[in-house]
Amino acid sequence: MRHYLDHAATTPMHPAALDAMTRQLTVVGNASSLHTSGRAARRVVEESRESIAAALGCRPSEVVFTSGGTESDNLALRGTYASRRDADPRRTRLLVSEVEHHAVLDCAEFLVQHEGAEITWLACDADGRVAPETVRAAILADPGSAALVSVMWANNEVGTVQDIPGIAAMAHELGIPLHTDAVQAFGHVPMDLAAADVELAAVTAHKLGGPVGVGALVVKRDHTLVPLSHGGGQERQVRSGTLDVAGIRGFAVAVEQAMLDRETESIRLAALRDRLVGGAMALGLGIVPGGEWVAGDVTGRLPGSAHLLVPGCEGDSLLYLLDAAGIECSTGSACQAGVPQPSHVLLAMGLTQEQARGALRLSLGRTSTEDDVQAVLSALPAAVERARRAAGTSDTAPTVGAA
Ligand SMILES: Cc1ncc(COP(=O)(O)O)c(C=O)c1O
């Protein structure tokens, strides 16, 4: 039997979303066509837009459909960088948190290499959280050069939830637009864009029970973006391309389900997460949680996010050993030229390279059960022992600093 604990990578589609999407796939119609089938497709898109906007707390006209989180992040950064610099050529500075996903990090680096941008890194604390004061100080260092602030709502590795309303208030007061990558947050923690006045927010369907390949960028009405794709002028001229009507319908139904279930699911998942983290710590293997872990907490950390630091191991070895035991999870870190790199998120949180190496991300979702948790706890001792032998550290006393 397989145990899937990688819901932060992608989570199974909700049956209601799958049903709505597959039905829609049987219907022809381009939402830009003027005939009856086209108008019917347009209606599906606009109704979906309305329900996604209601869940986000924004206006329907502010939802720009994209192919997912990566495209939304790229559109937010590149589109805003271009519009802000067009308005004032001194605005070349991107203020980016150190714990962002690569969709933001690599896009910012692209702008440095090709468009003359500079990056001011926003440091985080030991839990991966960026203080609004840090954002304020970074803007005030040279307000005239600041193009955009980018801080994610919730982290994809350690699950830390940021104080986006606080950061947004700070950025607003100083007149600098804020983008938030809300890919991991949407549907999992309370998010209200009406209250947190951000200019831009990236979301994606496949992290909350919708299909892969569809997402949205929320763009505040008065925010100007230079488009990345040019053509038919769909989506307020910001994102040309024929709309994926069935995918958008699946996205909307998944969002509706996620909103209905969010409160009860978050309590259920946090309880499973806590048994997983507490149980792993009690194995006597020196395992500690990565990031802030407060039992029962459903707002400071994503309810389904468990992250373990296993001393004396390579995360990748553990991942393959657990996979062989039927457990599917991830390390959260990237590979460069086939060599596993310690996670930039853990390094930003102050862990050493050594401590960051034995990282395991175990993420829970709608289909997770107590059985999954027990399977991990049963498989960990043997997997850790073998991974330590492979790393030649089985004789050393396992120690990991406070995470
Ligand atoms: C925080 C974050 N941002 C962006 C993305 C990219 O989203 P997508 O897979 O929809 O392109 C991911 C996916 O892992 C993510 O976790």
Number of domains composing the chain: 2
CA of 323 to the centre of ligand 1 (A): 23
Tens digits of per-residue pLDDT, 217-257? 999 999 999 999 999 999 999 999 999 999 999 999 999 99
215 Cβ below 6 A of ligand 1: yes
CATH code at 363? 3.90.1150.10
Q: How high is the mean pLDDT of the chain?
A: 95
Q: Which domain holds residue 197?
A: 15-256
| Ligand 1: nearest atom to the Cα of 68 | 10
Whether residue 383 is found in the same domain as residue 347:
yes
Whether residue 234 is found in the same domain as residue 298:
no
pLDDT of residue 341: 85
398 within domain boundaries: no
122 within domain boundaries: yes
184 Cβ below 6 A of ligand 1: yes
CATH code at 112? 3.40.640.10
| Ligand 1: nearest atom to the Cα of 154 | 1
Whether residue 244 is found in the same domain as residue 280:
no
Whether residue 247 is found in the same domain as residue 274:
no
Tens digits of per-residue pLDDT, 55-94? 999 999 999 999 999 999 999 999 999 999 999 999 999 9
Tens digits of per-residue pLDDT, 284-309? 999 999 999 999 999 999 999 999 99
157 Cβ below 6 A of ligand 1: no
402 within domain boundaries: no
161 Cβ below 6 A of ligand 1: no
pLDDT over 90, % of the chain: 94
Tens digits of per-residue pLDDT, 87-126? 999 999 999 999 999 999 999 999 999 999 999 999 999 9
Look at residues 211, 236, 256 and tell me which one is the last residue of a structural domain: 256
Whether residue 271 is found in the same domain as residue 250:
no
CA of 376 to the centre of ligand 1 (A): 25
Whether residue 161 is found in the same domain as residue 250:
yes
Which of 200, 204, 331, 344 should be mutated for ligand 1, with most atoms under 8 A from CB?
Answer: 204
pLDDT of residue 397: 45
Tens digits of per-residue pLDDT, 166-190? 999 999 999 999 999 999 999 999 9
Whether residue 276 is found in the same domain as residue 182:
no
Tens digits of per-residue pLDDT, 123-178? 999 999 999 999 999 999 999 999 999 999 999 999 999 999 999 999 999 999 99
Per residue, the 3-state secondary structure of the chain, as one string, reads CCEECECCCCCCCCHHHHHHHHHHHCCCCCCCCCCHHHHHHHHHHHHHHHHHHHHHCCCHHHEEEECCHHHHHHHHHHHHHHHHHHHCCCCCEEEEECCCCHHHHHHHHHHHHHHCCEEEEECCCCCCCCCHHHHHHHHHCCHHHEEEEECCCECCCCCEECCHHHHHHHHHHCCCCEEEECCCCCCCCCCCCCCCCCCEEEEECCCCCCCCCCEEEEECCCCCCCCCECCCCCCCCCECCCCCHHHHHHHHHHHHHHHHHHHHHHHHHHHHHHHHHHHHHCCCCCCEECCCCCCCCCCCECCCEEEEECCCCCHHHHHHHHHHCCEECECCCCEECCEECCCHHHHHCCCCHHHHHCEEEEECCCCCCHHHHHHHHHHHHHHHHHHHHHHCCCCCCCCCCCC
Catalytic site includes residue 107: no
Q: Which of 124, 313, 329, 335 is catalytic?
A: 335
111 within domain boundaries: yes
304 within domain boundaries: yes
Look at residues 198, 225, 256 and tell me which one is the last residue of a structural domain: 256
Whether residue 246 is found in the same domain as residue 284:
no
Tens digits of per-residue pLDDT, 250-286? 999 999 999 999 999 999 999 999 999 999 999 999 9
Whether residue 111 is found in the same domain as residue 182:
yes
396 within domain boundaries: no
pLDDT of residue 403: 30
Which residue, judged by its Cα, is nearest atom 5 of ligand 1? 69
Whether residue 161 is found in the same domain as residue 28:
yes
Whether residue 192 is found in the same domain as residue 166:
yes
pLDDT of residue 35: 98
pLDDT of residue 336: 61
400 within domain boundaries: no
Look at residues 256, 274, 300 and tell me which one is the last residue of a structural domain: 256
Confidence of residue 333 (pLDDT cuts 50, 70, 90): confident
Whether residue 54 is found in the same domain as residue 72:
yes
| Ligand 1: nearest atom to the Cα of 9 | 14
403 within domain boundaries: no
